Amino acid sequence: MTIEVKTKIFVVSGPSGAGKNSVTSPLRNMKDRVAFSVSYTTRKNMRPGEVDGLDYRFVSDGEFDRMINSNEMLEWEQIYENRYGTRRSDFESLIESGKAVVALLDVKGAATIKKYYDNVVTIFILPPTSEEAAKRLESRGTEDGSSQLLRKERYELELNRQADYDYTIVNSDLKEAQKRLLEIVNKEIAQAVD
């Protein structure tokens, strides 16, 4: 059964190295109209510039287990060597705020949100090439060799789900990709109001 919501829910996905955070960053300036869902993660190390509670909520494996076992997680996934997920109560509070909700999720999480809620708009961010994605991952300097290999293997899996999305944005030029995302979000929010 799909839950009817009055606001738009934007789910943004894409493989590692696509630049999801960079492309969506201008939406953070739309605080009066947009609220970001913050995923929980068991990842131990924050990347440079990340802020606990803004980019992710960093929790222990034990706390993540507790949230799963008490049915608090709306969706969750083991990605690489860490777990990521969305807490149901947090997500529903964002919906109740009346603002459009933006969630950066993997392809499985996106499918779960689309199954549970109506008014979901899915957006897939692509790097221009797999080589460029690999280069971006390497330049980040936050993953060791085995982690980079795992991310490259998952690249194809995520790419195969691209057709399930309402929109695709190729992030070959960051400013153009941001502009396209803003156009999509503003158009969809305007349609929700009409």
| 38-94 confidence digits (pLDDT tens) | 999 999 989 888 899 999 999 999 999 999 999 999 999 998 789 999 999 999 999
To the nearest whole percent, how much of the chain has pLDDT over 70?
Answer: 87
Task: Tell which wins on pLDDT, 85 or 152.
Answer: 85
pTM: 0.89
Q: Residue 127: is its pLDDT beyond 90?
A: no
| Domain layout of the chain by residue ranges | 9-193
- Cα dihedral 104, 109, 110, 114, rounded to 10, equals -130
Compute how many other C-beta atoms are within 10 angstroms of the C-beta atom of residue 58: 16
Which pair of structure tokens corresponds to residue 15? 């493989």
- Residue 148: pLDDT band by 50, 70, 90 thresholds? low
Q: Which strands sit side by side in the sheet containing 56-58, from one edge to the other?
A: 56-58, 39-41, 82-87, 73-79
| Pairing outcome for strands 167-170 and 82-87 | unpaired
pLDDT value, residue 160 = 83
Pick from 97, 134, 103: nearest CA to 116: 103
Cβ(42)–Cβ(83) below 8 Å = yes
DSSP symbols for 71-120: T-EEEEEEETTEEEEEEHHHHHHHHHTTSEEEEE--HHHHHHHHHHBSSE
Say which residue the tokens 């994605």 belong to.
Answer: 133
* 23, 135 Cβ separation under 8 angstroms: no
Q: What angle do CA 40, 98, 124 make, to 5 degrees?
A: 55
Which of the listed CATH numbers 3.40.50.300, 3.10.20.30, 3.40.50.1980, 1.10.10.10 matches domain 9-193?
Answer: 3.40.50.300
Banded model confidence at residue 144, pLDDT cuts 50, 70, 90: low
Angle in degrees, 0-180, between the axes of helices 145-159 and 130-140, rounded to the nearest 10: 150
Q: Mean per-residue pLDDT for 169-180?
A: 96
Over residues 113-125, the pLDDT tens digits come to 999 999 999 999 9
Residues 6+ positions from 5 with CB-CB distance below 8 Å: 95, 117, 118, 119
Band the pLDDT of 158: cuts 50, 70, 90. confident
